[in-house]
């Protein structure tokens, strides 16, 4: 490996890391949405059971409570993971900018081609 390839390889590795982190962030966003849906569905089910509109017993109440609590736990966990992932992306992008700034870039000029 030459000295010119090392920074390029390092930058490529960091860009791959940023892409992985971006996929993780997107997965967290999907889980956050699912958690909010679970919380809402559990709350609606609990309200329906409390109002007596749904002819079910304790199992429905427990299921509704489990949906709400599970949604809250999942929401909190994924929000904190998303925040940590965003920070890691910002750090990796800063490192990438520094590495690009260190590279001695050369200006490449194209010469016009002659048509026959």
HEC secondary structure over the chain: CCCCHHHHHHHHHHHHHHHHHHHHHHHHHHHHHHHHHHHHHHHHHHHHHHHCCCCCCHHHHHHHHHHHHHHHHHHHHHHHHHHHHHHHHHHHHHHHHHHHHHCCCCCCCCCCCCCC
Does residue 2 register a pLDDT over 50? no
pTM: 0.75
Average pLDDT, the chain: 87
What is the mean pLDDT of the segment spanning 94-110?
Answer: 82
Tens of pLDDT, residue by residue over 58-72, are 788 898 999 999 999
Tens of pLDDT, residue by residue over 24-37, are 999 999 999 999 99
Contacts of 37 (CB under 8 A, 6+ apart): 71
pLDDT recorded at residue 109: 78
Here the tokens at position 16 are 């791959």
Here the tokens at position 101 are 């700034």
pLDDT recorded at residue 1: 42
What is the mean pLDDT of the segment spanning 76-87?
Answer: 96
What is the mean pLDDT of the segment spanning 87-101?
Answer: 92
């Amino acid at each position: 490996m030459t000295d010119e390839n090392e920074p390029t390889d390092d930058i490529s590795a960091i860009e791959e890391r940023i892409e992985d982190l971006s996929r993780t962030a997107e997965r967290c966003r999907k889980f956050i949405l699912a958690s909010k849906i679970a919380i809402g569905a559990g709350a609606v089910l609990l309200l329906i059971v409390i109002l007596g509109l749904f002819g079910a017993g304790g199992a429905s109440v427990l299921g509704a409570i489990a949906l709400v609590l599970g949604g809250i736990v999942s929401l909190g966990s994924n929000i904190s993971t998303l925040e940590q992932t965003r920070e890691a992306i910002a750090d990796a992008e800063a490192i990438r900018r520094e590495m690009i700034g260190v590279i001695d870039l050369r200006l490449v000029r194209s010469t016009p081609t002659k048509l026959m």
